[in-house]
Amino acid sequence: MKDIIFKGCGTAIATPFKDGTVNLDEFKRLVKFQIENKADSIIVCGTTGESPTLSVDEKIELIKCAVEVSNKKIPIIAGTGSNNTKKAIEMSKIAEDLGSDGLLVVTPYYNKCTQNGLIEYYKSIAKSVSIPIIMYNVPSRTGVNITPETCYELSKIPNIVAIKEASGNISQVAKIASLCKNNLQIYSGNDDQILPVLSLGGIGVISVLANIKPSEVHKMCYDYFDGNTQSAGKIQLENLSLINTLFDEVNPIPIKYALKKIGFDVGVPRSPLTPVSSNLAEKLDKLLQNDN
């Protein structure tokens, strides 16, 4: 069995902005909040962190900050994927040099490469670094799906250790688990499917909800691991309305609003994303008020 980067709740952390620039002081607060509230890892510069709009220098600042604040308390995983293999390799090397514990590497987007193209992409990145890699499969955003058969081929590479599965296709998750067994661990990439993925042998989630509820997502996972499936199921279902509402508009628009409501000055998403609509803000206000 390959080494596991983390088990349980990995928070896909948001990036705070102020006056158009990264707000590192508030980012430190977010990282500390996650550590203090039982997140099992933090994923920096992912989709929720608005990585497509971040410059290389900004990514370096954020990764470096997270690594320093965490100080090995929990793993820091850096999002380094790209639709340009060369850029993905360069960013992966930088993240490793900055002290990242692992990499989250999304499939190339827009290019719509073949399965052979995916294999070459991940092989090239894996050869360039020595730290563990989590593949990120999110075809609704990228236009590309990593098939179970491709997962099996890539699971043969020593430092490709896991996949964040956000296809929404539970049958596909089951086939990946069946083919790859312990050579490729599975994280849910969807907050509404945490328990279904865990029931197929998954070891955790890379979560948007955990930005505001890290302790609950952690508890859900570990209740399940400890055999308390009734409690885990209760947490999953109690949060389902909030989870669904956090995706009524494209992520991270709603979660940045929710973070502001609980006291974090994260600003608004960068263009081309927009601030939350008034209708969705009202829905989120009610759901968050009901939680208090």
Mind telling me the catalytic residues?
136, 164
Half-sphere exposure of 57 (CA within 13 A, CB side): 2
